[in-house]
Amino acid sequence: MPRMDGLALAEALRADPDLGFVPIVLLTARADVEDRVAGLESGADAYHAKPLDPRELSATVASRLASRRAWRERHAAAVTPVIDAFPGVVSADEDLRARIEAAIHEHFADPAFSARDLAEAVGLSGSQLRRRTHELLSATPTEAIRAYRLAQGALLLRKESGTVAEVAYAVGFNSVSYFTRSFGDAYGRPPTAYIAEGKEIG
C-alpha cells in the first residue's frame, strides 16, 4: 500500500469520527503473534494471515455482524427515550431540535448512521444541518450523534447492562477503543472508572 500500511490505515479509520464505525478485517502475510496483536490493537475487528479460505473470511464477517446486531437488540429495551445530551442549551427552534434528537434516537444504535443520514431524516441539506446544529446544540451533526451515543452509553454503564465492549456496540460504536477514548473526553474518566464510581454512589 502506498504511504501507509494496513495497521496505519486501521488506526486512521478508527480515529476518524465519520469512518470509525467501519468494520475492519486485516488480511496479511504477517502471521507472527506480535503482528496479530499489533493488528488487533490498531482497531481491527479481526486479523487473518494468508493463505485464507474465502469461507473463513465470510464466516468471520457474518459472525461479527451477528454478534453486534444481537447486542444492540438485547440492550435496545434498556435505552431510555430521547434524553437531553446537551443540558442548558436554549434553542431558538425547539421543533427542529426535537426532530434532530428524535432522528438520532431512532438510529443511534446503527453504526452506519451518519451526518448525511441525519440531514435526510430531518429534511435539510448537509450545510443547513451543520448551521442549525451549531445554532441549536453548539455542535456539528457528527458531534451531536456521538454525544447522544455516549449519553446512552453512560446510562447503560451505570445500569451495569453489559461490559464496556458490549455497551460500546449497543450504542453504535464499532470500535471499543474509540468508544473508550470518546467517553473519556466527554466524561473526564474512562468507562471502567465511571462504572466504579456508580457502584460507590449506589
Of 26-30, 153-157, 178-182, 192-196, the range with the lowest mean pLDDT is 26-30
Do 175 and 146 fall into the same domain? yes
Q: Is 130 helix (H, G, I), strand (E, B) or coil?
A: helix
Query: Which residues share a beta bridge with 47?
Result: 26
Contact of 178 with 20, CB cutoff 8 Å: yes
Q: What is the pLDDT of residues 122-155, one digit of tens each?
A: 999 999 999 988 888 888 999 999 999 999 999 9
Instruction: For CA atoms 194, 195, 200, 202, give the dihedral sign.
Output: positive
**Greater confidence, 96 or 33?**
96
Contact of 176 with 167, CB cutoff 8 Å: no
The count of C-alpha atoms lying within 13 angstroms of the C-alpha of 157, restricted to the half-sphere facing its C-beta, is 25
Of 76, 103, 124, the one marking the end of a domain is 76
How far, in whole angstroms, is CA 50 from its chain's centroid?
30
Contact of 81 with 105, CB cutoff 8 Å: yes
Domain count, the chain: 2
Do 108 and 71 fall into the same domain? no
Do 188 and 118 fall into the same domain? yes
Task: Give the separation between CA 165 and CA 174, rounded to whole angstroms.
Answer: 9
* pTM check: above 0.75: no
Task: Flag whether pLDDT at 197 surpasses 60.
Answer: yes
Do 106 and 173 fall into the same domain? yes
Instruction: Give me the pLDDT at residue 28, please.
Output: 78
Q: What is the pLDDT of residues 44-75, one digit of tens each?
A: 777 777 877 888 888 887 877 776 666 556 55
**Greater confidence, 191 or 161?**
191
Of 5-14, 98-107, 127-136, 186-195, the range with the lowest mean pLDDT is 5-14
Task: Flag whether pLDDT at 173 surpasses 50.
Answer: yes
Task: Give the separation between CA 62 and CA 191, rounded to whole angstroms.
Answer: 28
The packing angle between helices 141-158 and 126-137, to 10°, is: 50
How far, in whole angstroms, is CA 68 from its chain's centroid?
12
Q: Is residue 82 a part of any domain in this protein? A: no
Instruction: Give me the pLDDT at residue 21, please.
Output: 59
Domain carrying residue 49: 6-76
Task: Flag whether pLDDT at 10 surpasses 80.
Answer: no
Q: What is the pLDDT of residues 72-121, one digit of tens each?
A: 565 554 555 555 566 665 444 678 888 899 999 999 999 999 999 999 99
* Coarse DSSP helix, strand, coil percentages of the chain, rounded to the nearest 5 percent: 60, 5, 35
Contact of 49 with 28, CB cutoff 8 Å: yes
Q: Is residue 88 a part of any domain in this protein? A: no
Do 116 and 197 fall into the same domain? yes
Q: Is residue 157 a part of any domain in this protein? A: yes
